[in-house]
């Protein structure tokens, strides 16, 4: 069977026609695509979309149909070369540690050291690069305030009280804004650690008059840098995805070392339905190198003998509207600056824009179809009595939250 016939047959399962008239049909401009997709898998399909060798009018619906039809396994089974490549990558991920100190720099250099202007084009004024909380709102800015307030409440912070004697450790938490928000809104002291130079330089300027201590530090060195039981509370947002399966236990151990006995650890992360040791090839190559989404089973196993899970919430339904809001902001602003140099090796050109659009749309559909979740785990030290109550009633009234937002931006 020819490569073209095989690929067309697989696309039929998703009710997608090659060069068809429907807005979600794939328009293929080079017949070489068929054999390369068959040999190298869906990575080539997306790379050729980025390179405009194929196109689609309604990209989000096309992605939706491809993912719903679950063609990846069928595509892999159609080629011996793909089978070997897939299982070799699985085996290598089990043997090596892609998230060790050396390789963890790969995602920093390739994604998080990009200029802040790129993110300002599609994020909210707080630059929250994590899932918002769309409770009683359809507005992204309000949803991100809701999310930060939800985290603050789960940290047992009372907005009406003076929390200046409370020390919070913020591990990573993207562009320091959560640290800034906690310091300004709840009047507490925050230590923010990261290994991203671009973020550190920007954060030290914006947080210079706040009780926010910004330190370049790998989470693996927390026990070396700080004495035992230094911090009252610990929060980590958008970090567990970069820790990796071989390091979850160490991650939890480092947090346990620096957290006081009677306080709380809030972990906000994208969650997988199944335990994995590798990620999608496109995401790994172009967006988040060595990124692995943890399952709740993996996190719970790493937390054994260290923490007691006091509260769990899945806010995964809020991730799709977050991603789509980012996508629409990106589309609106994508031509604001043309061909600026993001890195020595990267231009903000048409190829980069198409890559970023596909990234946001595909992640939105993964969320929409419940292939990925968004977990909030609240931990205490395992020997603390079970006195933590689930968060149910937080005041998200526009008058209150907009006052907080306007005062702090």
Measured between alpha carbons, how far is 144 from 389 in angstroms, rounded to an integer? 23
Torsion-angle region of 154 (φ positive above 0: left; ψ -120 to 50: alpha; else: beta) = alpha
Orientation of helix 177-186 relative to helix 140-154, angle to 10°: 70
User: What's the pLDDT at 335?
Assistant: 76
Give the active site residue among 131, 173, 188, 363: 363
Query: Do residues 171 and 190 make contact, with C-beta atoms less than 8 angstroms apart?
Result: no
**For residue 139, how far is the Cα from the chain centroid?**
20
pLDDT value of residue 5: 86
User: Domain map of the chain by residue range?
Assistant: 3-95, 104-408
Distance CA 261, CA 248 (A): 20
pLDDT at 95 (0 to 100): 65
CA–centroid distance for 316 within its chain: 12
Q: What pLDDT is attached to residue 132?
A: 96
- Give me the pLDDT at residue 269, please: 96
Determine the Cα–Cα distance for residues 46 and 54; give it in Å rounded to an integer: 9
What pLDDT, in 10s, does the model give residues 214-264?
A: 999 999 999 999 989 899 999 999 899 999 999 999 999 999 999 998 889
Q: To 5 degrees, how large is the angle CA 337–CA 338–CA 343?
A: 90
Q: How far apart are CA 293 and CA 311, in angstroms?
A: 20
Q: Which of 272, 267, 347, 362 lies closest to 61 in space, CA to CA?
A: 362
At the topology level, CATH places domain 104-408 in Rossmann fold (3.40.50)
For the question of residue 207 being annotated catalytic, the response is no
Asked if 166 contacts 235 with a C-beta cutoff of 8 angstroms, the reply is no
Q: Are 324 and 399 in contact (CB under 8 A)?
A: no
Contact 221, 155 (CB under 8 A): no
The DSSP string of 105-135 is HHHIIIIITS-HHHHHTTS-TT---S----T
- The pTM for the full model equals 0.88
Q: What is the pLDDT of residue 345?
A: 46
pLDDT along the chain (409 residues), means of 10: 80 88 86 74 70 76 80 67 55 68 71 78 91 95 94 89 93 79 93 88 86 94 93 94 94 96 92 87 83 95 93 95 96 72 62 87 89 94 62 58 56
DSSP-based three-state secondary structure for 239: coil
Token pair belonging to 346: 């990267």
């Amino acid at each position: 069977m020819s490569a073209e016939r095989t690929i067309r047959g697989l696309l039929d399962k998703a009710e997608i026609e090659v060069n068809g008239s429907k807005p979600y049909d794939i328009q293929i401009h080079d017949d070489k695509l068929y054999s390369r997709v068959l040999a190298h898998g869906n990575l080539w399909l997306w790379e050729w979309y980025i390179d405009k060798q194929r196109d689609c009018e309604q990209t989000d619906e096309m992605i939706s149909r491809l993912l719903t039809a679950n063609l990846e396994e069928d595509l892999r089974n159609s080629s011996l070369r793909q089978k070997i490549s897939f299982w070799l990558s699985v085996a290598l991920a089990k043997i090596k540690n892609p998230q060790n100190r050396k390789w963890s720099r790969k995602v920093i250099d390739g994604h998080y050291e990009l200029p802040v202007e790129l993110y300002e084009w599609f994020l909210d004024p707080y630059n929250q690069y994590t899932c918002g909380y769309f409770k009683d709102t359809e507005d992204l800015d309000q949803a991100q305030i809701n999310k930060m307030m939800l985290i603050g409440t789960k940290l047992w912070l009372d907005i009406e009280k003076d929390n200046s004697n409370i020390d919070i450790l913020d591990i990573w938490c993207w562009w320091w804004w959560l640290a800034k928000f906690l310091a300004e809104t709840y009047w507490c002291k925050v230590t923010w650690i990261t290994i991203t130079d671009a973020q550190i330089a920007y954060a030290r300027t914006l947080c210079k008059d706040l009780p926010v201590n910004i330190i370049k530090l790998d989470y693996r060195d927390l026990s070396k840098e700080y004495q035992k039981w230094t911090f009252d509370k610990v929060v980590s947002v958008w970090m567990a995805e970069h820790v990796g399966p071989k390091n979850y236990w160490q991650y939890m151990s480092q947090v346990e070392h620096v957290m006081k006995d009677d306080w709380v650890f809030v972990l906000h992360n994208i969650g997988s339905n199944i335990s994995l040791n590798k990620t999608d090839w496109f995401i790994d190559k172009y967006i988040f190198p060595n990124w692995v989404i943890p399952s709740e089973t993996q996190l719970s196993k790493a937390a054994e003998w260290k923490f007691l899970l006091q509260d769990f919430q899945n806010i995964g339904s809020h991730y799709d509207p977050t991603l789509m809001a980012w996508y629409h902001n990106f589309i609106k602003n994508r031509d604001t600056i043309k061909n600026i140099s993001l890195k020595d090796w990267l231009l903000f050109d048409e190829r980069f824009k198409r890559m970023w659009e596909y990234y946001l749309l595909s992640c939105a559909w993964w969320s929409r179809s419940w292939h990925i979740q968004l977990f909030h785990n609240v931990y205490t030290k395992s020997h603390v009595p079970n006195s933590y109550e689930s968060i149910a009633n937080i005041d998200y009234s526009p008058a209150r939250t907009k006052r907080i937002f306007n005062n702090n931006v």
